């Protein structure tokens, strides 16, 4: 199942309007300089929590939490995400996802299993490679954003106010793009939600 590097048992800020637990998925293909979850980036590192342990935790919290948010790292990196979402929904939880959109095909498979998506937009798509260190990352993110927009899943587009984004009107460009989609861009200061060390 999923490799999980950390868990927040209770949060009111990671899934708008809901009480949720957050599962921090291990691994991310990108290397943003400002990443505050560096310990989650190595996909080769096995998770610190067994999936059975997480399922037992969620079983005991049924009725106390509304939902479960899959965060990271980048949750869509792991092939087991679809099965994990299915299992969590079968327990009666709402499901949320934090993604930056590097794997649009897996995101497409997950969208029917999601009740909410928070998608991170890092900059105008043509500038992504400079932030992520990975060629083609902007194309993947643009395709993922389109999938999110065209789905019926409630969504939030948000961005981290890194110095690169603040320069050369990049933030204005992202805000204008999101406004064109009919959405509002949520601004996050650097160092917001950090996965707890296990």
With binding defined as CB under 6 A, does residue 31 bind ligand SF4?
yes
Three-class DSSP category at 49:
strand
How far apart are CB 169 and ligand SF4 at their closest, in Å? 22
Q: Check residue 77 and report its DSSP letter.
A: G
How many of the other CB atoms lie within 10 Å of CB of 62? Answer: 10
The rounded distance, in Å, linking the Cα atoms of 76 and 151 is 17
With binding defined as CB under 6 A, does residue 28 bind ligand SF4?
yes
Report whether 162 contacts 174 (CB < 8 A). no
How many of the other CB atoms lie within 10 Å of CB of 35? Answer: 15
Of 6, 73, 75, 138, the one binding ligand SF4 by CB under 6 A: 73
The rounded distance, in Å, linking the Cα atoms of 158 and 102 is 16
Number of residues that bind ligand SF4 (CB under 6 A): 11
Nearer to ligand SF4, 65 or 137 (CB): 137
Taking every pair of C-alpha atoms in the chain, what is the biggest distance, in angstroms?
A: 49
Stretch that binds ligand SF4, among 25-33, 44-52, 168-176, 187-195 (CB under 6 A): 25-33
With binding defined as CB under 6 A, does residue 74 bind ligand SF4?
yes
How far apart are CB 30 and ligand SF4 at their closest, in Å? 4
With binding defined as CB under 6 A, does residue 85 bind ligand SF4?
no
Nearest Cα residue to 2 out of 57, 60, 67, 74 = 74
How far apart are CB 72 and ligand SF4 at their closest, in Å? 5
Of 7, 32, 121, 153, the one binding ligand SF4 by CB under 6 A: 32
- Contact positions vs ligand SF4 (CB under 6 A): 28, 30-32, 35, 37, 41, 72-74, 100
């Amino acid at each position: 199942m999923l490799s999980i590097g950390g868990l927040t048992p209770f949060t009111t800020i990671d899934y708008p309007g809901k009480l949720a637990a957050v599962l921090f998925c291990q691994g991310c293909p990108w290397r943003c300089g400002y990443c505050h979850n560096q310990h989650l980036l190595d996909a080769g590192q096995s998770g610190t929590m067994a999936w059975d342990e997480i399922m037992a935790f969620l079983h005991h919290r049924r009725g106390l939490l509304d939902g479960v948010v899959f965060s990271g790292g980048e949750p869509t990196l792991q092939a087991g995400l679809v099965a994990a979402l299915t299992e969590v929904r079968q327990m009666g939880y709402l499901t949320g996802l934090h993604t930056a959109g590097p794997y649009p095909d897996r995101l497409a498979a997950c969208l029917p299993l999601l009740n909410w998506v928070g998608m991170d937009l890092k900059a105008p798509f043509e500038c992504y490679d400079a932030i992520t260190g990975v060629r083609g990352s902007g194309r993947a993110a643009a395709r993922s954003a389109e999938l999110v927009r065209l789905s019926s899943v409630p969504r939030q587009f948000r961005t981290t106010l890194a110095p690169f984004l603040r320069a050369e009107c990049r933030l204005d460009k992202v805000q204008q793009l999101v406004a064109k989609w009919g959405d509002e861009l949520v601004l996050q200061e650097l160092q917001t939600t950090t996965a707890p060390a296990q």
